[in-house]
Amino acid sequence: MLLIPAIDLKNGQCVRLKQGLMDEATVFSDKPVEMGRHWVEQGARRLHLVDLDGAFAGEPKNFEAIREIVAVTSRDVPVQLGGGIRDLGTIEKYLGLGLSYVIIGTAAVKNPDFVREACKEFAGHIIVGLDAKDGMVAIDGWATVTDHHVIDLSKRFEDDGVNSIIYTDIGRDGMMSGVNVEATVKLAEAVDIPVIASGGLTNLEDIKALCAVQESGIEGAITGRAIYEGSIDFAEAQTLADELSK
């Protein structure tokens, strides 16, 4: 079970939101590059970056901060990024920086064929990010809830060559209320694409719960507020996950 520290970027700062609300941002660092280096030193084997401003604008907005983080970490660990990725040119630009994976979210919902094109052009580097509220997919920085159910939409990507699906329960994200294990398992069992859990990871009990069901197809979990506020010690959590995953 891979634990992936999140670095969410807003106005060049490392922040965490509650339920995706931009006006509910808590600033944890004005030097995101140092946070990237810190999590690698703590034993992270992958980093998760989100361009929050980009997610709302539909185009990259924190490029310089992303470039700096990738420059100091990508030689040590893979780095994945989501937020504002809407065209092949943006993907090429980001992969050229040294990113290992780009995450297509809103564009995957509005134009599923774009995912197929991206996977063909950049094989092995494309992750789909699906954020849901009560099982229904949300887009545009979670500002709009669609009529697409997350499982039905996920099935559309099974033959495209998607590396994995990041499933975020919006209602849990940033709320320190525990992972929605049941919904994550249902998605993982319904599709042939590995699933990465996101939203609500709070303590070691959540780690244990995810490890107990990882054979359903859950390969990792993204953690944010918990490691910044200290309810989870990242190094301890990854060690525990490794032991439980043997």
Class of 2-245 per CATH? alpha beta
Residue ranges of domains in the chain: 2-245
Name the active-site residue from 53, 131, 160, 169. Answer: 131
Q: Is 30 a catalytic residue?
A: no
CA pair distance 8, 28, nearest whole angstrom: 10
- The pTM score is 0.93
pLDDT per residue as tens, the chain (246 positions): 999 999 999 999 988 776 666 766 788 889 999 999 999 999 999 999 999 999 888 899 999 999 999 999 999 999 999 999 999 999 999 999 999 999 999 899 999 999 999 999 999 999 999 999 889 998 876 778 999 999 999 999 999 999 999 999 887 655 556 789 999 999 999 999 999 999 889 999 999 999 999 999 999 999 999 999 999 999 999 999 999 988
3-state secondary structure of 162: coil
CA pair distance 40, 51, nearest whole angstrom: 19
Instruction: Say what the pLDDT of residue 199 is.
Output: 85
Nearest Cα to Cα of residue 237 among 158, 226, 179, 246 = 226
Q: Is 233 a catalytic residue?
A: no
CA distances from 39 to 32, 35, 73, 155, 245 (A): 11, 6, 10, 33, 21
